[in-house]
Amino acid sequence: MNDLPLPDADALAHSDRLAAMIRGEIAASGGSLPFSRFMERCLYTPGLGYYSAGATKFGEAGDFVTAPEIGPLFASAVSQAVAPVLQELGPEACFLEIGGGSGAFAEVMLKRLLQLDAMPAKYWILEPSADLRERQRERLGRRLIPPVFDCVEWLDTPPQDTWNGVVFANEVIDALPTPRFVLREGEVFEEHVALDGEGRFVATDRPADPLLAAAVRHVERSRDVLFEDGYRSELLPQLPYWVQAVIGKLDAGALLFCDYGYPRKEYYLEQRDGGTMRAFYRHRMHNDVYRWPGLQDITASVDFTALAEAGTGAGFALAGYATQAGFLVGNGLIDRLGEAEARAPDEATTLRLRNEFKKLTLPNEMGERLQFMGFARDCNFDAAFLSGDLTWRL
């Protein structure tokens, strides 16, 4: 962690303001906060949290790179997967993107859906960050033709009326504030954040509330293995409620999630006894999640078995589960690469496209680390997972 670049004075002052606010909340709460609350404050405090302030998050100038930011191939393949659903649902079908990033995904997605004659009636972006919302609006307004841009709407809350369509979330669940648990003498404790004698953030453990304790016991039963004392990890007991909240009153349609993670049997391996929690700063991953609140991303991998339970619990059928490489290749990624290469104006562009393809599909890049999961209700979405379906691993 000593090789992390030092933030400038303004950034450190920004972080100090957020840290002071969190220290005040710790003091007012009797000396500690649940880790999930600490994570929420670091990421989403208005004007100060990582996703709520104005610093660049994505790309070379940011802290990490998501698949849509690399180039157009990712969104082109996803559009190929969801276009039949939008066509089946009819002209009133809508598309809801949760967390729009830089707007790169929406730009390519809308252009491709227009080509496929699968334009949604509305393209909604549910974006909590005012800064990112403005960046998305500027980009899409500049790069889309007016009739296409006019169908884009930014939402403050999930759709309030009954609707049909598709919900898509890329690397969203891994940024949900998550509780951390640990076993002590067979009992479930929850990780809290307290202050040491010098005011630094430190971990401490408190008895878990009934919801978290029951969720941990559910994982133990589903794996038929008890956690050893000292085992520490993450768990999202609120995931079913989050899924039902973000889809709003979706009647018929599909849900598609892409994220880092594992099926439950692999997530809670005995050797993964420190969990998956990590931080990202200037393209460096490290484990000091208490460092520089508001300046670094904090993330945990997704338990895809829990996501399957949440989606089916919301009344949807599991359409499929695949690695990113399997899903994208199964939905025409190679053809999209060929089309893009045919339009490439020079050798440098062709090389960039091929590097993008490798980044999206190689196992040691994003190909297997990121995974897709889909759900459907009153529509056919199984075809998107005909290649490389891994539901048997759940």
Whether 39 is in a domain gets the answer no
Whether 372 is in a domain gets the answer yes
**Pairing, β 250-262 against β 302-303:** parallel
Whether 45 is in a domain gets the answer no
> How many other C-beta atoms lie within 10 A of the C-beta of residue 354?
14
Q: In the predicted model, is pLDDT for residue 176 greater than 70?
A: yes
The pLDDT, as a whole number, for residue 64 is 57
The pLDDT, as a whole number, for residue 284 is 85
Q: In the predicted model, is pLDDT for residue 257 greater than 80?
A: yes
The pLDDT, as a whole number, for residue 129 is 84
**Residue 363 DSSP label:** I
The pLDDT, as a whole number, for residue 389 is 92
Write the pLDDT tens digit of every residue in 57-89: 544 554 557 889 999 999 999 999 999 999 999
Average pLDDT of the segment spanning 292-312: 96
Strand partners, 394: none
> How many other C-beta atoms lie within 10 A of the C-beta of residue 122?
18
Q: Which of 200, 218, 223 lies closest to 208 in space, CA to CA?
A: 218
Integer-rounded Cα Rg, in Å, for the chain is: 21
What Cα–Cα distance (Å) separates residue 233 from each residue in 167, 188, 219, 268, 281?
28, 11, 12, 8, 22
CATH number at residue 125: 3.40.50.12710
Instruction: Give 177's pLDDT tier (boundaries 50, 70, 90).
Output: very high
Whether 50 is in a domain gets the answer no
- CA dist., res. 49 & res. 71, Å (int): 27
Q: In the predicted model, is pLDDT for residue 1 greater than 80?
A: no
3-state helix, strand, coil in the chain (%, to 5): 40, 25, 35
Check if the beta carbon of residue 160 is closer than 8 Å to that of residue 243.
no
Whether 119 is in a domain gets the answer yes
The pLDDT, as a whole number, for residue 54 is 57
Retrieve residue 223's tokens: 């794996």
Average pLDDT of the segment spanning 107-117: 97
Instruction: Give 5's pLDDT tier (boundaries 50, 70, 90).
Output: confident
Q: In the predicted model, is pLDDT for residue 94 greater than 90?
A: yes
Whether 217 is in a domain gets the answer yes
Write the pLDDT tens digit of every residue in 212-235: 999 999 999 999 999 999 999 999
Write the pLDDT tens digit of every residue in 7-16: 889 989 999 9
Whether 171 is in a domain gets the answer yes
Number of domains into which the chain is organized = 1
| 68-72, 110-114, 238-242: the lowest-pLDDT one | 68-72
Whether 358 is in a domain gets the answer yes
Domain enclosing residue 168, as ranges: 63-290+298-394
Write the pLDDT tens digit of every residue in 27-67: 999 999 999 999 999 999 998 999 887 555 544 554 557 88
